Amino acid sequence: MAFLSGLSAFPITPINRDGRIDTKALRKLIKRLCAAKVDSIGLLGSTGCYMYLSRGERRRVLTTALGEAGGRAPIVVGVGALRTDEAVRLARDAKAIGAAAGLLAAVSYTPLTDDEVFEHFSVVARESGLPIVIYDNPATTHFHFTPALVGRLVKVPGIVAIKNPTGKSDAIESHLAEQRSIVPEGFSIGYSGDWNAAEAMIAGADTWYSVLGGILPEVCVKIVRASQAGDATEARRLDAALTPIWDLFKQVSSLRTVYALAELLDICRAEPPRPIMPLPAAAKQQVAAALARLPSGTGS
């Protein structure tokens, strides 16, 4: 089995109006994920607003989460930064505190070349000693990992997995097959983009890196287990029941939607870091209506 497999659940990082991390709410989120028996926790991903947090804040988030998880689920933590030396320090922090792996994106202001990204990832993996997951997130970084670049990176010691975006659902199977042909055995191939992730798991992907899994883990675990058991019909049935949520993710963004869900589920009243604004009242009502339409057993 690959180093990372199954459901990797990505929670929000609860922050109050003053920009301070709500550790009590964070522990509540982590406890919820562990109770659902997620396979790993994706801390400080895009849903966790990693790029809005200082090094000290990131350390505090990771220390809090690891303390609550207590070894029940490995934690993959975002270590992305604009500068290579900063990413190295973040990855070293993550390793020292106890993270299982680091999630590294090609974050930039000036557009990066393939050679620059290759060097960035190689240095972080080598100098930190932390296992690294390639985070291909072109929607935010505006950089896409080509097959040629992935083929180079998978040969770098310490790079162990990739988190791919999903495009059209009917293209996932061919993308997965192509990527399998260029990565070594045991290298974990996973996908984000929740509304297409069930099809990725049915096609044989190792991991679903899930935004919704960070707030409604039970139903996402069920989709993954059905996929792993070869029951595509059940996986698709469960996925179809989440269509109201997927529609909101596309309309108002998954980040804003899950912050609203956290409030509606009485987990916390956190807001995304400014300048990101929480959903207005009308959109929150849409989220509440979508949540009410979900069938029992979704963890709501």
pLDDT tops 60 at residue 296: yes
163 is catalytic: yes
Catalytic residue (choose from 50, 95, 163, 222): 163
pLDDT for position 143: 97
Tokens of 53: 């947090």
Q: What is the pTM of this model?
A: 0.96
What DSSP string describes 231-247?
Answer: -HHHHHHHHHHTHHHHH
pLDDT tops 70 at residue 1: no
Catalytic residue (choose from 135, 191, 209, 259): 135
Reported confidence tier of residue 71, pLDDT bands at 50, 70, 90: very high
pLDDT for position 62: 98
Residue 122: its H or E element: helix 114-128
222 is catalytic: no
23 is in an annotated binding site: no
pLDDT for position 172: 96
pLDDT tops 70 at residue 299: no
Mean pLDDT along residues 279-289 = 96
pLDDT tops 90 at residue 268: yes
Q: How many CA atoms lie within 13 A of 240 on its CB side?
A: 6
For 72-126, write each residue's pLDDT tens digit: 999 999 999 999 999 999 999 999 999 999 999 999 999 999 999 999 999 999 9
Among candidate residues 89, 17, 67, the one with its CA nearest the CA of residue 269 = 17
For 205-245, write each residue's pLDDT tens digit: 999 999 999 999 999 999 999 999 999 999 999 999 999 99
Asked if 87 contacts 120 with a C-beta cutoff of 8 angstroms, the reply is: yes
Reported confidence tier of residue 2, pLDDT bands at 50, 70, 90: low
What is the CB neighbour count within 10 angstroms for residue 31?
14
Residues 6+ apart with CB under 8 A from 151: 182
Residue type, 159: I
For 155-201, write each residue's pLDDT tens digit: 999 999 999 999 788 899 999 999 999 999 999 999 999 999 999 99
Asked if 271 contacts 15 with a C-beta cutoff of 8 angstroms, the reply is: yes
Mean pLDDT along residues 262-289 = 94
Reported confidence tier of residue 18, pLDDT bands at 50, 70, 90: confident
Domains and CATH numbers, the chain: 6-229 (3.20.20.70)
Express as a percent the part of the chain with pLDDT over 90: 92
Reported confidence tier of residue 138, pLDDT bands at 50, 70, 90: very high
Q: Which long-range contacts (CB under 8 A, 24 or more apart) does 109-118 make?
A: 109/82, 111/142, 111/143, 112/143, 114/146, 114/148, 114/149, 117/143, 117/145, 117/149, 118/149, 118/152, 118/153
pLDDT tops 80 at residue 298: no
Tokens of 110: 């000036």
pLDDT for position 300: 55
pLDDT tops 90 at residue 266: yes
Among candidate residues 4, 9, 36, the one with its CA nearest the CA of residue 192 = 9
Cα 252 from Cα 233, distance rounded (Å): 29
Tokens of 211: 């935004």
- The residue with tokens 């029941």 is 241
Cα 145 from Cα 153, distance rounded (Å): 10
pLDDT for position 258: 97
Residue 299: strand, helix, or coil: coil
Asked if 246 contacts 194 with a C-beta cutoff of 8 angstroms, the reply is: yes
Q: How many CA atoms lie within 13 A of 239 on its CB side?
A: 24
